[in-house]
Structure 1
Amino acid sequence: MRVSKEQAAKNRDRIIEVASREFRDKGFDGIGVADLMKSAGLTHGGFYGHFASKDDLIAEACAASMDQSAEKWGKLADRSPEEAFAALINAYLLKEHRDHRATGCTMAALAPDIARQSGRVRERFTHGTRALLDILAKIIPGVSAEAKREKALATMAGLVGTLVLSRAVDDPAFADEILAAGQAAFGKQD
């Protein structure tokens, strides 16, 4: 039974949405194509009608999740610069963000996996990271124009590192301490 072009496009979008969540939650090697398709409510056989390979899906899923982050960050950046920066830090370093990898930051969930991927995946990730960096650089308070990009890069690396470490430790109190230290360090900009 053939599906309409409109339904095929909806199915493709659904696969990307599910893959984006599942990859962030389980990593690229933590879930196979058959299970992704099942989670999307579709048959395994239909996968190759939408994507050339799992790597093709990984690239699309990374791009989609990075675009979602840029949209969220963009909405936060629409506030005044002082409010936007604090809102972004507070939203990023929340316990809920730490505890829900599947709907959280692609950088914190997948950067080590992405470093081992092919060119297209890394290209999509790089594009998304630059878009987020541009948003962050616009809202960094209290620094000269020349220093904004450098400060944004350091802040982004610190935010991602804080989230990664707080997810990795097995002691909830220590995980909370790591988040609090990140809040204190990155919430204050000169």
Structure 2
Amino acid sequence: MLRIAARRIREEGMERPGIADLMKEARLTHGGFYKHFSSRDDLMNQAVALALADGEEKMAHAAEAARDAPRSGLIDAYLSAGHRDAPGTGCALVTLGGATGRGSPDMKEAYEQQVRSYLAMFGAGPGSSDDERAEAMLTLSAAVGAVLMSRAVADPELSDQLLTMVAERLKARP
């Protein structure tokens, strides 16, 4: 049920998936919902946390796969057509940013934790300099923004350019 909700909120947003629809997709009765969650808000908080954690796991794998150049590997994985084309399994930083900004403190904390984790992956871990931190923030912001815009534009060529050109520029940076 939680995985279904995490996928659906990334695909449709926080307002769309109703409990009845989620329960039907999970093949559970509506009454069984309250055995697992105290409310729809509880479900949404947990689904946001799971969606964010899923993205971190994928990014960690991308960094491991590119051992010689983990930053480039992260950029290539994040700014890929596959990521753009799969919002239901993609990074929740892109799909849930606006909703989490208006969400509960728990949602905001989960989102912040994910931002901090990605910043560390991009080189802004404990003890990093202000320049390293700024560079990681720029990289993450540009990557999230490029994916968001590449999903929103109608022109497929522009969508591809947003991904490829931003990736090229980010990888050319120190």
TM-score by length of 1: 0.83
Give the gaps of 5 or more residues in structure 1: 1-14
Q: Which residue does 1:126 correspond to in 2? A: 112
Contact 1:166 1:178 in 2 (8 A): yes
Structure 2 SS opposite 1:30? coil
Q: Which residue among 95, 105, 116 is the counterpart of 1:109? A: 95
Q: Which residue among 133, 137, 154 is the counterpart of 1:149? A: 133
Contact 1:76 1:87 in 2 (8 A): yes
Q: Which residue does 1:52 correspond to in 2? A: 38
Amino acid at match of 2:60: G
Answering whether residue 7 of structure 2 is matched by residue 21 of structure 1, we say yes
Paired residue total: 172
What does 1:170-185 align with in structure 2 at a 5 Å threshold? 170-185=154-169
What does 1:3-82 align with in structure 2 at a 5 Å threshold? 15-78=1-64, 82=68
Amino acid at match of 1:53: S
TM-score by length of 2: 0.90
For the aligned residue pairs, the C-alpha RMSD in angstroms reads: 1.9
Task: Report deviation, 1:39.
Answer: 1.4
Look at both structures and tell me which one has the larger radius of gyration over its CA atoms: 1
Contact 1:55 1:121 in 2 (8 A): no
Q: Which residue does 1:168 correspond to in 2? A: 152
Amino acid at match of 1:23: I
Separation (CA, whole Å) in 2 of partners of 1:135 and 1:74: 8
Separation (CA, whole Å) in 2 of partners of 1:78 and 1:184: 20
Separation (CA, whole Å) in 2 of partners of 1:166 and 1:79: 25
Deviations 1:136-166 (A, max 9, x none): 2269xxxx84422211111101000000001
Task: Report deviation, 1:78.
Answer: 3.5
Contact 2:71 2:121 in 1 (8 A): no
Give the percent of matched residue pairs that are identical in Structure 1 and Structure 2. 35
Task: Report deviation, 1:76.
Answer: 3.1
Task: Report deviation, 1:122.
Answer: 1.3
